[in-house]
């Protein structure tokens, strides 16, 4: 119930206006967000790299409402790519397609995405296309496949395990050689298309992890530089991490073919532990002024995050 309320609030304009004016909200949000400016984010990336972590940098934003704004978003993402290259950082980029025009016009979005992929390819940088809520899934996977068909090998997809269809999506994309970031899912979806119970989501995540790791064994992708392998397991759940480790060991997979991904500001000790054991670990580092929806979804995921926020409000 609480999770549903917070996810609703993440999409409510009135709640955005209210929360973003609260200094405690900004302080709490910046536990999980690397700042509002690119320069702030690049400093965080450099610090994580020094600690042995790979990064995917994400300029926050979604559901952009006019064509000029989508093009500006694409230019800003390209500026982040240039910043990564200029500072010789070990980082890719993540983006949401509604930020660059998907809800306005798929052709506009495709043009902006190709501009970004061209810039990224010039610098040898990988681009991860995030999956949003279910109305955008089919178009998102179609655009990722379309860019792969155009020769952009530097693009990958995200699959949310709580959707009933995700077993099939993982198997199909892996067979096509498209790298997958596997997540549990952070949106409110109806029970007709998504598992409503945590135990079922966990079971689906493990099942899809096994599908992905078996595909990695059968069709290992030759990585370029710091690009992720076929399997990117994105979770803070230690039980899911241990399942992935055990499955990889039973398959005899090289640890470099199993990348673990986690969010900036969450489970840092687990990140360090996995890196010390020889696995590549990539930290998802968001930044930008449009931090509110991301922040609210983080509160929905972990009660401890919500308690920290509320206790700051009370103290203030």
10-residue mean pLDDT series, the chain (316 residues): 58 59 70 91 97 96 91 97 98 97 97 98 97 96 98 97 98 96 92 96 98 90 82 96 98 96 93 96 92 72 53 45
Question: In this predicted structure, what is the pLDDT of residue 286?
Answer: 94
Q: How far is the C-alpha of 202 from the C-alpha of 156, rounded, in Å?
A: 23
Q: Which of 58, 130, 169, 202 is catalytic?
A: 130
Q: Where in the chain is the domain with CATH 3.20.20.220?
A: 40-287
For the chain, the C-alpha Rg in angstroms (whole number) is 18
Question: In this predicted structure, what is the pLDDT of residue 294?
Answer: 75
Please say whether the beta carbons of 287 and 83 come within 8 A.
no
DSSP reduced 3-state for 284: strand
| Residues in CB range of 48: below 8 A, 6 or more apart | 54, 55, 283, 285
Degrees, nearest 5: CA angle 226-265-5 = 115
Q: How far is the C-alpha of 206 from the C-alpha of 208, rounded, in Å?
A: 5
Q: How far is the C-alpha of 178 from the C-alpha of 258, rounded, in Å?
A: 15
Active site residue 167: no
Q: How far is the C-alpha of 251 from the C-alpha of 184, rounded, in Å?
A: 23
Question: In this predicted structure, what is the pLDDT of residue 197?
Answer: 94
Q: How far is the C-alpha of 117 from the C-alpha of 121, rounded, in Å?
A: 6
Q: Which of 181, 240, 282, 297 is catalytic?
A: 181
CA 25 to chain centre: 22
CATH architecture of 40-287: Alpha-Beta Barrel (3.20)
Question: In this predicted structure, what is the pLDDT of residue 44?
Answer: 97
Question: In this predicted structure, what is the pLDDT of residue 187?
Answer: 86
Question: In this predicted structure, what is the pLDDT of residue 312?
Answer: 45
pTM equals: 0.88
Active site residue 181: yes
Neighbouring-strand partners of residue 58: 94, 286
| Residues in CB range of 173: below 8 A, 6 or more apart | 141, 157, 159, 180
- What H or E segment, with its residue span, contains residue 77? helix 67-86
Question: In this predicted structure, what is the pLDDT of residue 222?
Answer: 59
Q: How far is the C-alpha of 27 from the C-alpha of 183, rounded, in Å?
A: 26
Question: In this predicted structure, what is the pLDDT of residue 23?
Answer: 67
């Amino acid at each position: 119930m609480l999770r549903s309320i917070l996810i609703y609030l993440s999409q409510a304009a009135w709640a955005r206006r209210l929360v973003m004016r609260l200094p405690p909200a900004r302080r709490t949000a910046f536990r999980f967000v690397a700042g509002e400016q690119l320069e702030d984010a690049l400093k965080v990336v450099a610090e994580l790299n020094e600690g042995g972590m790979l990064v995917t940098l994400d300029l926050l934003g979604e559901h952009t409402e006019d064509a000029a704004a989508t093009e500006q978003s694409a230019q800003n993402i390209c500026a982040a790519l240039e910043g990564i290259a200029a500072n010789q950082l070990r980082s890719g980029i993540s983006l949401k397609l509604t930020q660059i025009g998907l809800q306005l016009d798929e052709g506009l979005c495709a043009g902006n995405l190709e501009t970004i992929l061209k810039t990224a390819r010039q610098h040898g940088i990988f681009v991860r296309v995030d999956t949003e809520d279910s109305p955008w899934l089919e178009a998102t996977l179609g655009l990722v496949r379309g860019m792969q068909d155009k020769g952009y090998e530097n693009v990958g997809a995200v699959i949310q395990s709580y959707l009933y269809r995700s077993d099939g999506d993982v198997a199909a994309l892996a067979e096509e050689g498209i790298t997958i970031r596997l997540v549990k899912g952070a949106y409110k979806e109806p029970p007709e298309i998504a598992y409503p119970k945590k135990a079922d989501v966990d079971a689906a995540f493990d099942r899809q992890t096994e599908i992905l790791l078996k595909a990695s064994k059968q069709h290992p992708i030759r990585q370029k530089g710091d690009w992720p392998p076929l399997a990117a397991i994105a979770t803070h759940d230690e039980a899911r991490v241990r399942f992935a480790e055990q499955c990889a060991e039973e398959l005899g997979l090289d640890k470099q073919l199993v990348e673990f991904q986690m969010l900036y500001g969450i489970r840092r000790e687990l990140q360090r532990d996995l890196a010390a054991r020889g696995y590549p670990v990539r930290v998802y580092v968001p930044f930008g002024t449009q931090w509110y929806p991301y922040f609210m979804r983080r509160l929905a995921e972990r009660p401890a995050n919500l308690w920290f926020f509320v206790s700051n409000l009370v103290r203030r």
